[in-house]
Amino acid sequence: MLSFLKNLLGNTPTRDEVRQHVQEESILPATDTEQSHQESLQESKTQAGVVTALSLHETWESKLSSQEKYALSFMAQELEPLQEGHISLAGTSLVPHDAGVEVTAFIRNSSDRPVRLGETTLVVLFGDQQLFTRQVFDLSEIGEIPPRSARPWSFVFEREHFLQVDVLLVNWKVAFEMAQKKMVLPQQLELEESWIKTLSDEQKNSLIELAKRLPSIKEGEVNIQSVQVRRDQDGSLNVMLLIRNGSTQSLSFEKLPLVLHDATGEIVAQGLFELGSLTVNANTSKPWLFIFPPESIQKDEPDFSRWKVSVPQG
């Protein structure tokens, strides 16, 4: 238990050292409090983030040394401030256990009321949001979590619940399952017939591999991935994009407004593209070429060492 503390004991840890131990947090509204979810959201907009103080369960209180309690107290206070009215799970350690793996995390309550949790499904994700394991835990054992506090707890995920084996658990995260949207990888590449005839086998394979390598997106999300930009002889900019459909339905685009940005973030060109009826089937990626004519270009010497295309809002 608390093996991660060994690196913090002996010297006063810095804020950066503390945050190196803390994984991305999983956050939920504290709907178990008497405040309504709507009130909590309103408060979060008007109040600064909450710094959570250490709260130890009596079983931890009796087992930890003064030095360990000090280190935990320091870690709790150095966590990123949390919006008012939320419960979060901030993982700090994942180590092997005889029964599987043991994850230590802070359960944080940023509301102004005590919170008691019940039976909850937790998941461990790794790499590019891949699901490693899920398991139901009785969080009532943690006891009542006081207002504006962080309570450390250890969870043993048993081997029988592992969904994958022989994986490298890097960039891991422990999370409330209800807080996670399913991640999908629309890796199947779909080409228009004209593209099939025009592209070489090498170009097709390159696009297929690109679609496979891209990170997963949230279920239901539509994502535009920048692929290639080049200037034509007439001064226009040819931009190839990969339209990724993470939903379960086919999507059709008749018009699509796009803005091209260079490495500085400045607008290079923008325009509204008439697509007729461009269809991207469910869970597929489709490449498309967008040509910004010379009159749409707003920056003469863009820096394309990095670039992106966005869809303007509103």
CATH of the domain at 204: 2.60.40
Burial classification of residue 166, based on how many CB atoms lie within 10 Å of its CB (0-12 exposed, 13-18 middle, 19 or more buried): exposed
User: Which tens digit of pLDDT belongs to each residue from 194-245?
Assistant: 898 888 889 888 888 888 888 777 777 888 889 999 999 999 999 999 999 8
Question: Residue 33: its pLDDT value, please?
Answer: 36
Same domain, 9 and 130: yes
User: Does position 293 have pLDDT exceeding 90, yes or no?
Assistant: yes
Shared domain check, 211 and 128: no
Q: Which pLDDT score is estimated for 2? A: 54
Residue 40 pLDDT exceeds 70:
no
List beta partners, residue 83: none
Cα separations in angstroms, 191 against 54, 188, 205, 242, 289: 55, 10, 12, 11, 12
Cα(137)–Cα(124) distance, rounded to whole angstroms? Answer: 13
Give, in order, the Cα–Cα distances in Å from 42 to each of 67, 148, 310: 39, 17, 30
Q: 94 and 219: one domain? A: no
pLDDT tops 80 at residue 17 = no
Per-residue DSSP letter, 145: B
Least confident of 4-13, 105-114, 118-127, 220-229: 4-13
How far, in Å, are 104, 113, 185, 233 from residue 155 at the CA level?
Answer: 6, 25, 29, 62
Kindly tell me if the per-residue pLDDT of 38 is higher than 50: no
Q: Which long-range contacts (CB under 8 A, 24 or more apart) does 250-254 make?
A: 250/279, 250/280, 250/281, 250/282, 251/222, 251/279, 251/280, 252/277, 252/278, 252/279, 252/280, 253/277, 253/278, 253/279, 253/280, 254/278
Q: Is the pLDDT of residue 9 over 50?
A: no
Co-location of 198 and 276 in the same domain: yes
How many domains is the chain partitioned into structurally?
A: 2
Mean pLDDT, rounded, of the chain: 83
Are 123 and 214 members of one domain? no
Largest CA distance in the chain: 76
Q: What are the tens digits of pLDDT across the range 45-70?
A: 344 588 999 999 999 999 999 999 99
Query: What distance in Å separates the CA atoms of residue 193 and residue 196, rounded to the nearest whole number?
Result: 5
Q: Where are the alpha helices (DSSP H) in the chain?
A: 15-21, 37-46, 58-63, 66-78, 193-198, 201-213
User: Cβ atoms within 10 A of the Cβ of 24, count?
Assistant: 14
Whether residue 167 has pLDDT greater than 60: yes
Same structural domain, 51 and 176: yes
Q: Percentage of residues in the chain with pLDDT exceeding 90?
A: 42
Percent of the chain having pLDDT more than 70? Answer: 82
- Are 250 and 281 in contact by the 8 Å Cβ rule? The answer is yes
For residues 305 and 162, state if they share a domain: no
Calpha distance 21→6 (Å, rounded): 12
Average pLDDT for 268-275 = 94
180, 202, 230 - which closes a domain: 180
**DSSP class of 51:** P
Tokens at 70, concatenated:
């000090």
105 shares its domain with 152: yes
Task: Say whether both 22 and 140 belong to one domain.
Answer: yes
Query: Which stretch of 8-12, 145-149, 151-155, 294-298 has the lowest confidence by average pLDDT?
Result: 8-12
**Domain of residue 132, residue span:** 3-180
Single residue among 180, 200, 219 that ends a domain in this structure = 180
Which of the four pLDDT bands, split at 50, 70 and 90, describes residue 314?
Answer: low
Report pLDDT digits (tens) over 198-208.
Answer: 888 898 888 88
Is 31 in the same domain as 73?
yes
Residues 66, 126 contacting (CB under 8 angstroms): no
